[in-house]
Amino acid sequence: MSSASDVAPAEAAADACTVRVVDPQKVALVTAALPGAETITELAQVFGLLSDPGRLRVIIALLEGGEMCVCDIAASCGHSESAVSHALRLLRANRVVRVRRAGRMAYYRLDDSHVRMLLDLALTHIGHGEEGS
């Protein structure tokens, strides 16, 4: 019976580096279709923004209410205006929301229909999971 210590280091390294591919054509197709590293990083940032419950409440408030000021968003979400302002600053920096200024007031809305579609799909997905339970 041999143990891991009986395997020569070079053999162990060769075994660890062996990549097994069952369907090389499919692997090539998928590899060519994968977005670039920068796009993957941006996607991860957007999903990271959406993963915070407080920011998600703000986004859903805007999804349901359309354009809203910070104080109305805060009242809708049950958060402080400071917390909502901080969330909106992050969301705006990542092009999830946009702002319109009217004098001293700032009104926020979802940046575009893509954000709305993403949220609608996620909510539909969650609802679909609840139906199957």
Mean pLDDT of the chain: 86
Q: Regarding predicted confidence, which is higher, 115 or 99?
A: 99
**Predicted local confidence at residue 113, as pLDDT:** 85
Tens digit of pLDDT for each residue in 37-54?
999 998 898 889 889 999
Any idea which architecture 37-127 has in CATH? Orthogonal Bundle (1.10)
Domain ranges of the chain: 37-127
Q: What residues contact 88, with CB distance under 8 A and at least 6 apart?
A: 58, 70, 73, 97, 99, 108
Q: Quick: pLDDT tens for 90-109.
A: 999 988 999 999 999 999 99
Over pLDDT 90: what percentage of the chain?
A: 56
Ordered DSSP codes for 39-76: HHHHHHHHHHHHTSHHHHHHHHHHHHH-SEEHHHHHHH
